Structure 1
Protein backbone atom coordinates (compact mmCIF):
# COMPACT_ATOMS: atom_id res chain seq x y z
CA UNK A 1 0.00 0.00 0.00
CA UNK A 2 2.93 2.30 -0.65
CA UNK A 3 2.05 5.75 -1.98
CA UNK A 4 4.93 7.65 -3.53
CA UNK A 5 4.06 11.35 -3.47
CA UNK A 6 7.27 12.63 -4.98
CA UNK A 7 10.88 11.56 -5.34
CA UNK A 8 11.79 12.30 -1.71
CA UNK A 9 9.28 10.45 0.51
CA UNK A 10 7.28 7.26 0.45
CA UNK A 11 4.09 6.81 2.42
CA UNK A 12 2.72 3.63 3.98
CA UNK A 13 -0.80 4.05 5.41
CA UNK A 14 -1.49 1.44 8.08
CA UNK A 15 -4.97 0.33 6.95
CA UNK A 16 -7.30 0.89 4.01
CA UNK A 17 -9.20 3.40 6.13
CA UNK A 18 -5.94 5.23 6.80
CA UNK A 19 -5.34 5.34 3.06
CA UNK A 20 -8.77 6.86 2.42
CA UNK A 21 -8.15 9.54 5.05
CA UNK A 22 -4.77 10.18 3.48
CA UNK A 23 -6.41 10.67 0.11
CA UNK A 24 -8.85 13.21 1.61
CA UNK A 25 -5.86 15.48 2.24
CA UNK A 26 -7.41 17.49 5.07
CA UNK A 27 -4.61 17.57 7.62
CA UNK A 28 -1.32 15.95 8.60
CA UNK A 29 0.35 16.07 11.99
CA UNK A 30 4.10 15.50 12.20
CA UNK A 31 5.33 14.82 15.73
CA UNK A 32 8.91 15.79 16.55
CA UNK A 33 10.88 14.61 19.58
CA UNK A 34 13.72 16.66 21.07
CA UNK A 35 17.12 15.07 20.68
CA UNK A 36 16.06 12.96 17.68
CA UNK A 37 18.80 13.34 15.06
CA UNK A 38 16.40 12.35 12.27
CA UNK A 39 14.68 15.72 12.47
CA UNK A 40 17.33 18.06 11.09
CA UNK A 41 16.35 21.47 9.74
CA UNK A 42 16.89 20.09 6.24
CA UNK A 43 14.55 17.16 6.93
CA UNK A 44 11.91 19.49 8.34
CA UNK A 45 12.22 21.65 5.25
CA UNK A 46 11.72 18.63 2.97
CA UNK A 47 8.78 17.43 5.06
CA UNK A 48 7.21 20.88 4.88
CA UNK A 49 7.47 21.04 1.09
CA UNK A 50 6.17 17.50 0.76
CA UNK A 51 3.26 17.95 3.21
CA UNK A 52 1.95 21.16 1.69
CA UNK A 53 1.64 19.53 -1.72
CA UNK A 54 -0.82 17.01 -0.32
CA UNK A 55 -2.64 18.51 2.70
CA UNK A 56 -4.75 21.59 3.32
CA UNK A 57 -3.28 22.05 6.81
CA UNK A 58 -0.01 20.93 8.38
CA UNK A 59 0.93 20.86 12.06
CA UNK A 60 4.35 20.20 13.55
CA UNK A 61 3.95 19.38 17.23
CA UNK A 62 7.07 18.91 19.34
CA UNK A 63 7.33 17.25 22.73
CA UNK A 64 8.19 19.55 25.64
CA UNK A 65 6.49 17.73 28.54
CA UNK A 66 8.35 15.38 30.93
CA UNK A 67 11.61 15.82 29.03
CA UNK A 68 13.45 16.89 32.20
CA UNK A 69 12.05 13.87 34.06
CA UNK A 70 13.28 11.59 31.29
CA UNK A 71 16.82 12.91 31.67
CA UNK A 72 16.62 12.60 35.47
CA UNK A 73 15.35 9.01 35.24
CA UNK A 74 18.38 8.04 33.20
CA UNK A 75 21.05 9.44 35.50
CA UNK A 76 21.12 13.24 35.26
CA UNK A 77 20.94 15.34 38.40
CA UNK A 78 17.75 17.35 38.77
CA UNK A 79 19.56 20.59 37.92
CA UNK A 80 21.39 19.13 34.93
CA UNK A 81 18.21 17.41 33.70
CA UNK A 82 16.33 20.71 33.74
CA UNK A 83 19.06 22.54 31.86
CA UNK A 84 19.50 19.74 29.32
CA UNK A 85 15.76 19.52 28.71
CA UNK A 86 15.43 23.28 28.22
CA UNK A 87 18.35 23.21 25.76
CA UNK A 88 16.93 20.29 23.75
CA UNK A 89 13.43 21.79 23.59
CA UNK A 90 14.74 25.17 22.48
CA UNK A 91 16.92 23.49 19.85
CA UNK A 92 14.11 21.38 18.39
CA UNK A 93 11.77 24.37 18.12
CA UNK A 94 14.53 26.36 16.39
CA UNK A 95 15.16 23.52 13.91
CA UNK A 96 11.48 23.22 13.06
CA UNK A 97 11.01 26.96 12.53
CA UNK A 98 14.19 27.13 10.46
CA UNK A 99 13.15 24.17 8.32
CA UNK A 100 9.66 25.56 7.73
CA UNK A 101 11.05 29.00 6.86
CA UNK A 102 13.55 27.52 4.41
CA UNK A 103 10.97 25.31 2.69
CA UNK A 104 9.87 28.23 0.55
CA UNK A 105 6.34 29.39 -0.33
CA UNK A 106 3.72 26.97 0.99
CA UNK A 107 0.46 25.88 -0.59
CA UNK A 108 -1.03 25.13 2.83
CA UNK A 109 -1.06 26.52 6.34
CA UNK A 110 1.80 25.27 8.57
CA UNK A 111 1.62 25.63 12.34
CA UNK A 112 4.37 24.85 14.86
CA UNK A 113 3.31 24.19 18.43
CA UNK A 114 4.50 22.54 21.63
CA UNK A 115 2.56 19.81 23.40
CA UNK A 116 2.27 22.01 26.47
CA UNK A 117 0.14 24.47 24.48
CA UNK A 118 -2.69 21.93 24.45
CA UNK A 119 -2.92 21.42 28.20
CA UNK A 120 -5.85 23.82 28.38
CA UNK A 121 -7.65 22.14 25.48
CA UNK A 122 -10.62 20.20 26.97
CA UNK A 123 -10.60 17.51 24.26
CA UNK A 124 -6.86 16.95 24.65
CA UNK A 125 -7.22 16.72 28.43
CA UNK A 126 -10.11 14.24 28.15
CA UNK A 127 -8.11 12.04 25.76
CA UNK A 128 -5.08 12.29 28.04
CA UNK A 129 -7.15 11.06 30.99
CA UNK A 130 -8.44 8.17 28.85
CA UNK A 131 -4.88 7.17 27.97
CA UNK A 132 -3.90 7.14 31.65
CA UNK A 133 -7.03 5.13 32.50
CA UNK A 134 -6.32 2.47 29.89
CA UNK A 135 -2.70 2.25 31.05
CA UNK A 136 -4.05 1.10 34.39
CA UNK A 137 -6.89 -1.13 33.16
CA UNK A 138 -6.02 -2.56 29.73
CA UNK A 139 -3.25 -5.16 29.72
CA UNK A 140 -2.87 -5.15 25.93
CA UNK A 141 -2.55 -1.38 25.79
CA UNK A 142 -0.08 -1.33 28.68
CA UNK A 143 2.02 -4.05 27.01
CA UNK A 144 2.11 -1.98 23.81
CA UNK A 145 3.25 1.04 25.81
CA UNK A 146 5.98 -1.03 27.47
CA UNK A 147 7.21 -2.18 24.05
CA UNK A 148 7.17 1.40 22.83
CA UNK A 149 9.15 2.56 25.88
CA UNK A 150 11.82 -0.08 25.30
CA UNK A 151 11.88 0.78 21.59
CA UNK A 152 12.92 4.33 22.39
CA UNK A 153 15.05 4.01 25.52
CA UNK A 154 16.68 0.64 24.95
CA UNK A 155 19.86 2.29 23.67
CA UNK A 156 20.16 4.19 26.96
CA UNK A 157 20.33 0.99 29.00
CA UNK A 158 23.60 -0.80 29.68
CA UNK A 159 23.96 -4.29 28.28
CA UNK A 160 21.98 -6.73 30.39
CA UNK A 161 20.25 -3.93 32.27
CA UNK A 162 16.45 -3.80 32.54
CA UNK A 163 14.31 -0.70 32.61
CA UNK A 164 13.37 0.32 36.16
CA UNK A 165 9.85 0.98 37.39
CA UNK A 166 10.61 4.71 37.69
CA UNK A 167 12.04 4.88 34.17
CA UNK A 168 8.99 3.06 32.82
CA UNK A 169 6.63 5.41 34.68
CA UNK A 170 8.33 8.47 33.20
CA UNK A 171 8.22 6.91 29.72
CA UNK A 172 4.50 6.28 30.16
CA UNK A 173 3.90 9.90 31.17
CA UNK A 174 5.94 11.13 28.20
CA UNK A 175 4.00 8.93 25.77
CA UNK A 176 0.63 9.69 27.37
CA UNK A 177 1.19 13.36 26.58
CA UNK A 178 1.63 12.53 22.87
CA UNK A 179 -0.96 9.79 22.38
CA UNK A 180 -4.09 12.00 22.23
CA UNK A 181 -2.88 13.07 18.77
CA UNK A 182 -2.80 9.44 17.62
CA UNK A 183 -6.36 8.96 18.88
CA UNK A 184 -8.36 11.99 17.76
CA UNK A 185 -6.44 14.91 16.30
CA UNK A 186 -9.55 16.08 14.40
CA UNK A 187 -11.41 16.81 17.63
CA UNK A 188 -8.39 18.47 19.25
CA UNK A 189 -7.63 20.77 16.31
CA UNK A 190 -11.06 21.09 14.70
CA UNK A 191 -10.13 19.53 11.35
CA UNK A 192 -12.31 17.11 9.29
CA UNK A 193 -9.75 14.29 9.37
CA UNK A 194 -6.07 13.88 10.11
CA UNK A 195 -3.07 11.67 9.43
CA UNK A 196 -0.46 11.17 12.15
CA UNK A 197 2.84 10.77 10.30
CA UNK A 198 6.07 9.33 11.65
CA UNK A 199 9.14 7.86 9.98
CA UNK A 200 8.97 4.42 11.64
CA UNK A 201 6.10 2.13 12.61
CA UNK A 202 5.29 2.51 16.28
CA UNK A 203 4.76 -0.57 18.49
CA UNK A 204 1.37 0.84 19.54
CA UNK A 205 0.04 1.13 15.98
CA UNK A 206 -1.51 -2.35 16.02
CA UNK A 207 -3.22 -1.66 19.34
CA UNK A 208 -4.73 1.69 18.36
CA UNK A 209 -5.60 1.01 14.70
CA UNK A 210 -6.04 -2.73 14.15
CA UNK A 211 -7.62 -4.38 17.17
CA UNK A 212 -11.35 -4.69 17.68
CA UNK A 213 -11.88 -3.10 21.11
CA UNK A 214 -10.37 -1.06 23.89
CA UNK A 215 -8.71 2.27 23.27
CA UNK A 216 -8.80 2.93 19.53
CA UNK A 217 -8.27 5.81 17.15
CA UNK A 218 -11.43 7.52 15.91
CA UNK A 219 -12.79 6.74 12.44
CA UNK A 220 -11.38 10.00 10.96
CA UNK A 221 -7.90 9.55 12.47
CA UNK A 222 -5.24 7.85 10.35
CA UNK A 223 -1.68 6.74 10.84
CA UNK A 224 1.05 6.41 8.22
CA UNK A 225 4.76 5.81 8.02
CA UNK A 226 6.34 8.64 6.03
CA UNK A 227 9.99 8.07 5.32
CA UNK A 228 12.64 9.11 2.82
CA UNK A 229 12.40 7.17 -0.41
CA UNK A 230 14.03 3.83 0.30
CA UNK A 231 17.33 2.88 -1.31
CA UNK A 232 17.07 -0.70 -2.63
CA UNK A 233 18.80 -3.07 -0.25
CA UNK A 234 18.69 -6.73 0.69
CA UNK A 235 19.09 -6.00 4.40
CA UNK A 236 16.76 -4.31 6.86
CA UNK A 237 17.48 -3.02 10.35
CA UNK A 238 15.28 -3.83 13.33
CA UNK A 239 13.89 -0.30 13.29
CA UNK A 240 12.96 -0.20 9.59
CA UNK A 241 9.39 0.83 8.85
CA UNK A 242 7.11 -1.92 7.52
CA UNK A 243 7.56 -2.96 3.92
CA UNK A 244 4.85 -2.63 1.34
CA UNK A 245 4.05 -6.32 1.68
CA UNK A 246 3.49 -6.17 5.42
CA UNK A 247 1.25 -3.13 5.09
CA UNK A 248 -0.88 -4.94 2.53
CA UNK A 249 -1.47 -7.65 5.10
CA UNK A 250 -3.00 -5.22 7.62
CA UNK A 251 -6.73 -5.55 7.96
CA UNK A 252 -8.89 -2.48 7.48
CA UNK A 253 -10.11 -0.64 10.55
Structure 2
Protein backbone atom coordinates (compact mmCIF):
# COMPACT_ATOMS: atom_id res chain seq x y z
CA UNK A 1 0.00 0.00 0.00
CA UNK A 2 1.10 3.55 -0.68
CA UNK A 3 2.11 5.21 2.59
CA UNK A 4 1.37 8.79 1.60
CA UNK A 5 -1.74 10.52 2.83
CA UNK A 6 -3.38 13.14 0.68
CA UNK A 7 -5.12 15.93 2.51
CA UNK A 8 -5.72 19.63 2.56
CA UNK A 9 -5.31 21.86 5.60
CA UNK A 10 -7.77 22.37 7.14
CA UNK A 11 -9.77 19.44 5.81
CA UNK A 12 -12.41 17.10 7.24
CA UNK A 13 -11.14 14.09 5.25
CA UNK A 14 -7.94 12.42 4.20
CA UNK A 15 -7.21 9.95 1.41
CA UNK A 16 -4.86 7.01 1.34
CA UNK A 17 -4.49 5.65 -2.21
CA UNK A 18 -3.83 1.92 -2.21
CA UNK A 19 -0.74 1.96 -4.44
CA UNK A 20 1.58 4.29 -6.30
CA UNK A 21 -0.52 3.78 -9.43
CA UNK A 22 -3.67 4.69 -7.48
CA UNK A 23 -1.91 7.77 -6.17
CA UNK A 24 -0.98 8.85 -9.70
CA UNK A 25 -4.59 8.41 -10.81
CA UNK A 26 -5.74 10.44 -7.81
CA UNK A 27 -3.39 13.26 -8.72
CA UNK A 28 -4.75 13.26 -12.29
CA UNK A 29 -8.03 14.36 -10.73
CA UNK A 30 -10.40 13.12 -13.43
CA UNK A 31 -13.15 11.48 -11.41
CA UNK A 32 -14.09 10.25 -7.93
CA UNK A 33 -16.70 7.55 -7.30
CA UNK A 34 -18.36 7.37 -3.88
CA UNK A 35 -20.19 4.10 -3.26
CA UNK A 36 -23.00 4.05 -0.70
CA UNK A 37 -24.51 0.88 0.76
CA UNK A 38 -28.11 0.77 2.00
CA UNK A 39 -28.45 0.49 5.74
CA UNK A 40 -24.97 1.89 6.37
CA UNK A 41 -25.31 4.63 8.98
CA UNK A 42 -21.83 5.95 8.15
CA UNK A 43 -23.27 7.69 5.10
CA UNK A 44 -25.48 10.35 6.63
CA UNK A 45 -26.74 13.20 4.47
CA UNK A 46 -24.22 15.51 6.15
CA UNK A 47 -21.34 13.12 5.50
CA UNK A 48 -22.32 12.75 1.85
CA UNK A 49 -22.42 16.55 1.52
CA UNK A 50 -18.98 16.80 3.12
CA UNK A 51 -17.53 14.03 0.97
CA UNK A 52 -18.70 15.41 -2.36
CA UNK A 53 -17.64 18.94 -1.42
CA UNK A 54 -14.23 17.66 -0.36
CA UNK A 55 -13.94 15.45 -3.44
CA UNK A 56 -14.53 18.35 -5.79
CA UNK A 57 -11.39 19.99 -4.41
CA UNK A 58 -9.42 17.23 -6.14
CA UNK A 59 -11.54 15.96 -9.02
CA UNK A 60 -13.19 17.41 -12.09
CA UNK A 61 -16.29 15.30 -11.46
CA UNK A 62 -17.79 13.20 -8.66
CA UNK A 63 -20.47 10.52 -8.89
CA UNK A 64 -22.34 8.78 -6.08
CA UNK A 65 -23.55 5.24 -6.76
CA UNK A 66 -25.81 3.41 -4.32
CA UNK A 67 -26.52 -0.32 -4.25
CA UNK A 68 -30.08 -1.40 -4.96
CA UNK A 69 -29.55 -4.92 -6.33
CA UNK A 70 -29.95 -8.19 -4.37
CA UNK A 71 -30.81 -6.36 -1.16
CA UNK A 72 -34.02 -8.38 -0.91
CA UNK A 73 -32.06 -11.65 -1.30
CA UNK A 74 -30.15 -10.83 1.85
CA UNK A 75 -33.34 -10.28 3.82
CA UNK A 76 -34.69 -13.59 2.50
CA UNK A 77 -31.48 -15.30 3.60
CA UNK A 78 -32.13 -14.00 7.10
CA UNK A 79 -35.58 -15.57 7.24
CA UNK A 80 -37.92 -12.95 5.80
CA UNK A 81 -40.64 -14.11 3.44
CA UNK A 82 -40.03 -13.06 -0.19
CA UNK A 83 -42.78 -10.43 -0.01
CA UNK A 84 -41.54 -9.00 3.29
CA UNK A 85 -37.95 -9.08 2.03
CA UNK A 86 -38.89 -7.04 -1.04
CA UNK A 87 -40.69 -4.46 1.12
CA UNK A 88 -37.78 -4.15 3.55
CA UNK A 89 -35.25 -3.89 0.73
CA UNK A 90 -37.30 -1.25 -1.10
CA UNK A 91 -37.58 0.78 2.11
CA UNK A 92 -33.82 0.65 2.74
CA UNK A 93 -33.02 1.61 -0.84
CA UNK A 94 -35.50 4.53 -0.79
CA UNK A 95 -34.09 5.76 2.51
CA UNK A 96 -30.56 5.61 1.13
CA UNK A 97 -31.53 7.43 -2.07
CA UNK A 98 -33.26 10.21 -0.11
CA UNK A 99 -30.23 10.58 2.14
CA UNK A 100 -27.97 10.98 -0.89
CA UNK A 101 -30.35 13.47 -2.46
CA UNK A 102 -30.36 15.55 0.73
CA UNK A 103 -26.57 15.43 0.88
CA UNK A 104 -26.15 16.53 -2.73
CA UNK A 105 -28.71 19.31 -2.25
CA UNK A 106 -26.84 20.50 0.83
CA UNK A 107 -23.54 20.47 -1.08
CA UNK A 108 -25.12 22.40 -3.96
CA UNK A 109 -22.39 21.45 -6.42
CA UNK A 110 -22.37 21.05 -10.17
CA UNK A 111 -20.93 17.94 -11.81
CA UNK A 112 -22.02 15.64 -9.00
CA UNK A 113 -24.50 12.95 -10.07
CA UNK A 114 -26.33 10.14 -8.27
CA UNK A 115 -26.95 6.69 -9.74
CA UNK A 116 -28.41 3.36 -8.63
CA UNK A 117 -26.61 0.17 -9.60
CA UNK A 118 -29.73 -0.95 -11.44
CA UNK A 119 -29.31 2.01 -13.81
CA UNK A 120 -26.41 0.13 -15.42
CA UNK A 121 -27.94 -3.32 -15.91
CA UNK A 122 -28.55 -2.79 -19.62
CA UNK A 123 -25.15 -1.22 -20.29
CA UNK A 124 -22.83 -3.49 -22.32
CA UNK A 125 -19.81 -2.45 -20.24
CA UNK A 126 -21.57 -3.41 -17.01
CA UNK A 127 -22.74 -6.73 -18.45
CA UNK A 128 -19.20 -7.54 -19.60
CA UNK A 129 -17.63 -6.67 -16.25
CA UNK A 130 -20.32 -8.49 -14.27
CA UNK A 131 -19.74 -11.62 -16.38
CA UNK A 132 -15.99 -11.37 -15.72
CA UNK A 133 -16.66 -11.17 -11.98
CA UNK A 134 -18.93 -14.21 -12.01
CA UNK A 135 -16.40 -16.21 -14.00
CA UNK A 136 -13.57 -15.21 -11.66
CA UNK A 137 -15.60 -16.26 -8.62
CA UNK A 138 -15.83 -19.74 -10.16
CA UNK A 139 -12.25 -20.04 -11.40
CA UNK A 140 -10.05 -17.85 -9.17
CA UNK A 141 -9.68 -19.21 -5.62
CA UNK A 142 -7.80 -16.12 -4.41
CA UNK A 143 -10.56 -13.80 -5.51
CA UNK A 144 -13.23 -16.18 -4.23
CA UNK A 145 -11.65 -16.28 -0.78
CA UNK A 146 -11.37 -12.49 -0.63
CA UNK A 147 -14.95 -12.03 -1.86
CA UNK A 148 -16.24 -14.45 0.75
CA UNK A 149 -14.26 -12.58 3.41
CA UNK A 150 -15.84 -9.34 2.27
CA UNK A 151 -19.30 -10.92 2.31
CA UNK A 152 -18.79 -12.30 5.81
CA UNK A 153 -17.62 -8.91 7.06
CA UNK A 154 -20.66 -7.25 5.51
CA UNK A 155 -23.07 -9.86 6.88
CA UNK A 156 -21.56 -9.71 10.37
CA UNK A 157 -23.43 -6.47 10.97
CA UNK A 158 -26.74 -8.30 10.56
CA UNK A 159 -25.81 -11.32 12.70
CA UNK A 160 -25.54 -11.76 16.49
CA UNK A 161 -21.99 -11.47 17.83
CA UNK A 162 -20.07 -14.68 17.29
CA UNK A 163 -22.55 -16.19 14.81
CA UNK A 164 -21.15 -16.99 11.36
CA UNK A 165 -23.10 -16.61 8.13
CA UNK A 166 -24.59 -19.84 6.79
CA UNK A 167 -24.29 -20.97 3.16
CA UNK A 168 -27.47 -19.22 2.02
CA UNK A 169 -26.54 -15.95 3.67
CA UNK A 170 -23.04 -16.11 2.21
CA UNK A 171 -24.43 -16.75 -1.29
CA UNK A 172 -26.76 -13.74 -0.95
CA UNK A 173 -23.86 -11.58 0.20
CA UNK A 174 -21.74 -12.69 -2.76
CA UNK A 175 -24.50 -11.79 -5.24
CA UNK A 176 -24.70 -8.33 -3.70
CA UNK A 177 -20.91 -7.86 -3.88
CA UNK A 178 -20.78 -9.22 -7.43
CA UNK A 179 -23.21 -6.50 -8.50
CA UNK A 180 -20.96 -3.78 -7.06
CA UNK A 181 -17.59 -5.02 -8.30
CA UNK A 182 -17.77 -3.62 -11.86
CA UNK A 183 -17.26 -0.17 -10.29
CA UNK A 184 -14.06 -1.37 -8.64
CA UNK A 185 -12.82 -2.82 -11.93
CA UNK A 186 -13.51 -0.16 -14.56
CA UNK A 187 -15.58 2.88 -13.61
CA UNK A 188 -14.14 4.80 -16.60
CA UNK A 189 -15.82 2.30 -18.96
CA UNK A 190 -19.12 2.60 -17.07
CA UNK A 191 -19.27 6.38 -16.76
CA UNK A 192 -17.18 7.52 -19.71
CA UNK A 193 -14.31 9.00 -17.70
CA UNK A 194 -10.63 9.11 -18.57
CA UNK A 195 -9.73 7.66 -15.18
CA UNK A 196 -11.43 7.19 -11.83
CA UNK A 197 -10.82 6.56 -8.15
CA UNK A 198 -13.33 4.44 -6.23
CA UNK A 199 -13.29 5.26 -2.54
CA UNK A 200 -14.61 3.83 0.70
CA UNK A 201 -13.87 4.57 4.35
CA UNK A 202 -12.05 1.26 4.95
CA UNK A 203 -9.80 -1.00 2.91
CA UNK A 204 -11.91 -3.89 1.65
CA UNK A 205 -10.70 -7.52 1.59
CA UNK A 206 -10.84 -7.46 -2.22
CA UNK A 207 -8.67 -4.35 -2.55
CA UNK A 208 -5.28 -6.15 -2.56
CA UNK A 209 -6.63 -8.71 -5.02
CA UNK A 210 -8.01 -6.23 -7.54
CA UNK A 211 -5.28 -3.58 -7.16
CA UNK A 212 -2.20 -5.39 -5.87
CA UNK A 213 -1.53 -8.47 -7.98
CA UNK A 214 -0.32 -9.07 -11.53
CA UNK A 215 -2.58 -11.98 -12.53
CA UNK A 216 -6.24 -12.93 -12.44
CA UNK A 217 -9.12 -10.48 -12.37
CA UNK A 218 -7.89 -7.01 -11.49
CA UNK A 219 -8.76 -3.37 -11.97
CA UNK A 220 -8.25 -1.61 -15.28
CA UNK A 221 -5.11 0.56 -15.57
CA UNK A 222 -7.26 3.69 -15.35
CA UNK A 223 -9.09 2.49 -12.21
CA UNK A 224 -7.77 3.36 -8.75
CA UNK A 225 -8.84 2.89 -5.15
CA UNK A 226 -8.37 4.99 -2.04
CA UNK A 227 -9.48 4.82 1.56
CA UNK A 228 -11.14 8.16 2.37
CA UNK A 229 -11.90 8.78 6.02
CA UNK A 230 -12.29 11.59 8.53
CA UNK A 231 -9.03 13.23 9.53
CA UNK A 232 -9.59 12.54 13.23
CA UNK A 233 -9.42 8.78 12.63
CA UNK A 234 -5.79 7.66 13.11
CA UNK A 235 -4.00 6.02 10.21
CA UNK A 236 -1.38 3.48 11.29
CA UNK A 237 -0.12 3.09 7.72
CA UNK A 238 0.41 6.79 7.12
CA UNK A 239 3.56 8.79 7.49
CA UNK A 240 3.47 12.53 6.91
CA UNK A 241 0.34 13.88 5.21
CA UNK A 242 0.92 15.56 1.89
CA UNK A 243 -0.91 18.68 0.78
CA UNK A 244 -2.53 18.42 -2.61
Measured at CA, do residues 231 and 222 of structure 1 come closer, stay the same or move farther in structure 2, by a change above 3 Å?
closer
Distance 1:57 1:115 in 2: 18
Measured at CA, do residues 167 and 98 of structure 1 come closer, stay the same or move farther in structure 2, by a change above 3 Å?
same
- Relative to the length of structure 1, the TM-score reads 0.89
Is the Cα contact below 8 Å between 1:119 and 1:125 reproduced in 2? yes
Is the Cα contact below 8 Å between 1:186 and 1:220 reproduced in 2? yes
| Unaligned 5+ runs, structure 2 | 240-244
Aligned-residue offset at 1:124: 0.7
Question: How is 1:158-177 mapped onto 2 (pairs within 5 angstroms)?
Answer: 158-177=160-179
- After superposition, the CA RMSD in angstroms is 1.4
Is the Cα contact below 8 Å between 2:154 and 2:173 reproduced in 1? no
Give the equivalent residue in structure 1 for 2:120. 118
Q: Which deviates more, 139-148 or 66-75?
A: 66-75
CA deviations over 1:160-193 (Å, ceiling 9, x no partner) = 4332211111111100100000001111111000
Runs of 4+ aligned residues of structure 1 deviating over 4 Å after TM superposition are none
Give the equivalent residue in structure 2 for 1:228. 230
Matched, 1:16 2:10: no
Matched, 1:81 2:97: no
Give secondary structure in 2 for the equivalent of 1:223: strand
Give the equivalent residue in structure 2 for 1:219. 221
Give secondary structure in 2 for the equivalent of 1:85: helix
- Relative to the length of structure 2, the TM-score reads 0.92
**Of residues 145, 152, 155 in structure 1, which corresponds to 2:154?**
152
Is the Cα contact below 8 Å between 2:25 and 2:223 reproduced in 1? yes
Q: Which deviates more, 21-30 or 50-59?
A: 50-59
In the alignment of these two chains, the number of paired residues is: 235
Is the Cα contact below 8 Å between 2:75 and 2:85 reproduced in 1? yes
Q: Which deviates more, 10-19 or 156-165?
A: 156-165
Give the equivalent residue in structure 1 for 2:181. 179
Is the Cα contact below 8 Å between 1:201 and 1:242 reproduced in 2? no
Q: Which deviates more, 114-123 or 151-160?
A: 151-160
Matched, 1:38 2:42: yes
**Of residues 71, 74, 83 in structure 2, which corresponds to 1:70?**
74
CA deviations over 1:190-238 (Å, ceiling 9, x no partner) = 1000000101110100100001200010111000000111255xxxxxx
**Of residues 231, 237, 243 in structure 2, which corresponds to 1:243?**
237
Give the equivalent residue in structure 1 for 2:54. 50
